[in-house]
Amino acid sequence: MKSGRRKKQLRNFWLFVLPALVLYTALWMLPLVFNLVISFTNWNGINPLSMTKIVGLRNYINMFRDNIFYKSIFHNLEFTVLNVAFIPAASFLTAIAVEKSFIRKKGFLRTTLFIPAILPMLLVSILFRWVYSVDGGMLNSILEAVHLDSWQRNFLGDYRIALFSLFVINLWKNYPFYMTIFLSGLQSVSTDLEESAKIDGAGYWQTIWYVTLPCIKPIVGVVVGLVIIDGFRVFDLVFNTTKGGPAYATEVMGTLIYRIAFSDSRLGYATALSTVNVLVVLVISFIYFKWNRSSEVDS
């Protein structure tokens, strides 16, 4: 009787799991294996695979001799550090402002603030190309109107500030998404704890620091982890604004891989780059989540 029920449960389990497993294998595992295999060849993406030669580790050796590769990795790291430093803080403070506000229709406020998150990145890129434009751009026009002409810049064309200008776009686009995650966490914090802290003499920011933040520490960990991953996955923002320029000042791994694969027709080398990029993301994500889990256990 029990063995029959066990078999039925096992059969139902596989009936539910198998479709997802097939999709996961077809859309993730097989392309990943194919990508790894191609990284050891000189395939140009055009000729038949039968005409492709195996070059062993040559693509990987050439990669570590390529200065643009190191620049791209560094720009990804720099972009990720900026994201981690500002996006979680901006999202959390905005969530606090919305949750603690005295506005009755908070749903309308949340919806309004969430608008940037639902806009396509292509549309956001076009919008900020106009905002940053040298001739008639909104930002330079505002600086001129307030007599700060010395601050006017070619924000996307100046190699010294181009990457930071892209980060500002990314901040504006993505912080509302993380704000909603923090909002869900704040709504789960017991008001009794906050009231007790206030009765004990804690100020507004002390209550947030010593009561609210510890209560949503797992959510903070998830948000920071997602921000790290997004920092290494950035592509469409850079591609639609600077395409990695000026002079490779905003080149990231995504745009470098795209250019090598489709502009230079060196798909073997591009897949080697993408393999290393995936490994870097996996290692950094593993280290972060391992550290975050151990810190939660210690606390």
The structure's pTM equals: 0.87
Band (pLDDT 50/70/90 cuts) for residue 2 is low
CATH number for the domain including 204?
1.10.3720.10
C-beta of residue 162 within 8 angstroms of C-beta of residue 242: yes
Burial 93-106 (b: 16+ CB within 10 A, else e): ebbbebbeeeeeee
| pLDDT at residue 201, rounded to an integer | 81
Structural domains in the chain (count): 1
In a domain, 19, yes or no: no
In a domain, 260, yes or no: yes
Average the pLDDT over each of 95-104, 120-129, 275-284, 290-299 and give the range with the smallest value: 290-299
* Six token digits for residue 70: 């190191």
In a domain, 6, yes or no: no
In a domain, 140, yes or no: yes
In a domain, 42, yes or no: no
| pLDDT at residue 103, rounded to an integer | 64
**Which amino acid, 25?**
T
In a domain, 35, yes or no: no
Distance CA 32, CA 242 (A): 29
In a domain, 236, yes or no: yes
Q: Which domain holds residue 217?
A: 57-298
In a domain, 133, yes or no: yes
Kindly report, residue by residue over 32-45, the tens digit of the pLDDT.
889 999 999 999 88
Category of 54 on φ-ψ map: left (φ > 0), alpha (ψ -120 to 50) or beta: beta
More confident residue, 31 or 294: 31
**Which amino acid, 296?**
E
* Average pLDDT across the chain, whole number: 89
| pLDDT at residue 102, rounded to an integer | 63
